[in-house]
Amino acid sequence: MHFEAFHDVRAAIAREKRLKREHRPAKIRLIERHNPDWLDHAAYWFDQ
């Protein structure tokens, strides 16, 4: 439901660790801010 792109793998890992420490309501706010329709962006990565 949410993704972020990083050029540096260390920054991506640090961000993931911060997100995992967040409580569910904060994660939901993050998703709804950037993906209000809760679309599955990964559905477009591969041909069906």
pLDDT value of position 1: 78
pLDDT tens-digit readout, 1-33: 788 999 999 999 999 999 999 999 999 999 999
- Model confidence at 48: pLDDT above 70: no
pLDDT at 43: 78
In three-state secondary structure terms, 13 is helix
Model-level pTM? 0.70
Positive/negative CA dihedral, 6, 10, 46, 30 = negative
DSSP state, residue 42: G
